[in-house]
Structure 1
Amino acid sequence: MGAVKSKRMPRAVREQQMLDAAVRTFGQRGYMAASMDEIAELAGVSKPLVYLYLNSKEDLFTACIRREAAALTEAVRAGVHPDLPADRQLWEGLRAFFTHTARNPDGWAVLHLQARTHGEPFAAEFTAMREEIAALVTQLILAAAREAHRDPDLPEREVAGLAEALVGAAESLAAWANATPGVTARQAAATLMNFAWAGLGDLMAGRPWSPPEEPERAQAG
């Protein structure tokens, strides 16, 4: 009897295997230090096969960013349930965000640390993901305003600014939580919720914080 041939792995499965190895390598070693040789070795394939599937190191890195960005965005969207009160929607969205980044620290390092610091087009891929999440948070803030007031009086620019501030805080807190032993995703989400919702709650109740008035400057003689 002849030798039984091993079943050929489907291209899509093999490609995901390569991306898994690449995300791990880029996340832990950084884009510049990572080599195609170690990615191929970790994936259990030859380097020429990596090039055949993904063309170049730049294309491989872009594919990693896109995959990790899509997975994170989907996780956040799946965590938000429109039938819940506004504060619960925000809580569930934050918990989904921190749960995903905690479970995928290499993927988050690729997005938050690597994609942003190695120029275009990598930074553009990260920015696209960030804008999508910020748009979702904007809708959550607007939902909170509608819930608090039938006719919310929040300027569009202020709502967008609040969303940007919240997303930026979540990004920094996720990086800190992943680097700090013992901090759980739930704790990180609760920390940001306490930080953000107390202020948002006052804003929705019509009690915004106002900066002190600027003293009048003496006119130049």
Structure 2
Amino acid sequence: MGAVKGVRAKRMPREVREQQMMDAAVQTFGRRGYRAASMDEIAELAGVSKPLVYLYLNSKEELFVACIRREAARLTEAVQAAAEPGLAPDRQLWAGLEAFFRHTAENPDGWSVLHRQARTHGEPFAAEVAAMREEIVAFVTALIAAAREGTPAAAGRGGELAGRDVEGLAQSLVGAAESLAGWANDSGGLTAKEAAATLMNFAWTGLGGLMRGERWTPR
């Protein structure tokens, strides 16, 4: 996310100015942290007065929640839009993962707000992120369930991949994606395509075995 120019803005629609202030807030919260960020700093970066920030959003907490909701909605929309319904489940997952890693790489401040800041400062912030995460988990669960239904070998072995297995796999996959995105952003060592391929090799190749009724067991 590019820097917001700290220049006094001319009169503009309320919606535009709110987004301008939220851009500044996401950048500040993402880089400085929720507690260290100040409303003075956000107002200066947005090019508005501090009273105007409070007029639009009543408190620092309310502003932070608004930032979490906006960044969560943008990330979720990016993932869901990339996974075209006509594609096979594994291709949908690949497209969704690539979109996820691309979005988090291109919006590091927004990802920091979601992945680090919101989760470490308690309620109501953590609950907002949890709601976003559950939406993505439900999306991945549906993809894995569709793949299970379309695999005759799994059905032929008594449906070993049960519904609870599917949900658990989705939870694991989303958690792995979050961790990998955090590491990739910090290290700069992977592109979005490389990160998506890493997780597909790790997860879907293993899922492919499950679809055939194969299970790992300790020897």
Checking the alignment, whether the CA contact within 8 Å between 1:86 and 1:147 is kept in structure 2 is no
1:181 Cα deviation after fit: 2.4
Structure 2 stretches lacking a partner, 5+ long = 1-8
Q: Within the alignment, does 1:71 sit opposite 2:74 as a pair?
A: yes
Equivalent residue number for residue 20 of structure 2:
17
Runs of 4+ in 1 over 3 A off after TM superposition: none
Q: Within the alignment, does 1:180 sit opposite 2:200 as a pair?
A: no
1:7 Cα deviation after fit: 6.0
Q: What is the distance in 1 between the residues matched to 2:122 and 2:67?
A: 15
Structure 1 stretches lacking a partner, 5+ long = 1-5, 213-221
Alpha carbons of structure 1 residues 7 and 31: separation in structure 2 relative to 1, 3 Å: closer
Q: 2:110 is aligned with what amino acid?
A: G
Q: What is the distance in 2 between the residues matched to 1:46 and 1:98?
A: 35
- Sequence identity of aligned pairs in percent? 72
Given the two structures, how large is their TM-score scaled by the length of structure 1? 0.90
Residues 77-118 of structure 1, C-alpha deviations (whole Å, 9 max, x = no match)? 001112111211110010011011011010000000011110
Equivalent residue number for residue 215 of structure 1:
none
Q: Within the alignment, does 1:191 sit opposite 2:198 as a pair?
A: yes
Equivalent residue number for residue 208 of structure 2:
201
Equivalent residue number for residue 171 of structure 2:
164
Q: What is the distance in 1 between the residues matched to 2:208 and 2:200?
A: 11
Max radius of gyration: which structure? 1
Residues 189-217 of structure 1, C-alpha deviations (whole Å, 9 max, x = no match)? 111111101110000011122345xxxxx
Alpha carbons of structure 1 residues 12 and 150: separation in structure 2 relative to 1, 3 Å: farther
Aligned-pair RMSD on alpha carbons? 1.4
Q: 1:40 is aligned with what amino acid?
A: A
Give the 5 Å matches for 1:1-221.
8-149=11-152, 152=155, 153=159, 154-211=161-218
Residues 21-44 of structure 1, C-alpha deviations (whole Å, 9 max, x = no match)? 000000001001000000000000
Q: What is the distance in 1 between the residues matched to 2:148 and 2:16?
A: 45
Q: What is the distance in 2 between the residues matched to 1:117 and 1:124?
A: 11
Q: 2:90 is aligned with what amino acid?
A: D
Q: Secondary structure at the match of 2:150?
A: helix
Checking the alignment, whether the CA contact within 8 Å between 1:79 and 1:96 is kept in structure 2 is yes
1:151 Cα deviation after fit: 7.2
1:144 Cα deviation after fit: 1.0
Q: What is the distance in 1 between the residues matched to 2:151 and 2:182?
A: 33
Number of equivalent positions: 207
Q: What is the distance in 1 between the residues matched to 2:154 and 2:86?
A: 20
Q: Which region of structure 1 is more displaced relative to structure 2, 142-151 or 8-17?
A: 142-151
Residues 38-61 of structure 1, C-alpha deviations (whole Å, 9 max, x = no match)? 000000000000000000000000
Given the two structures, how large is their TM-score scaled by the length of structure 2? 0.91
Q: What is the distance in 2 between the residues matched to 1:188 and 1:139?
A: 22
Q: What is the distance in 1 between the residues matched to 2:92 and 2:101?
A: 14
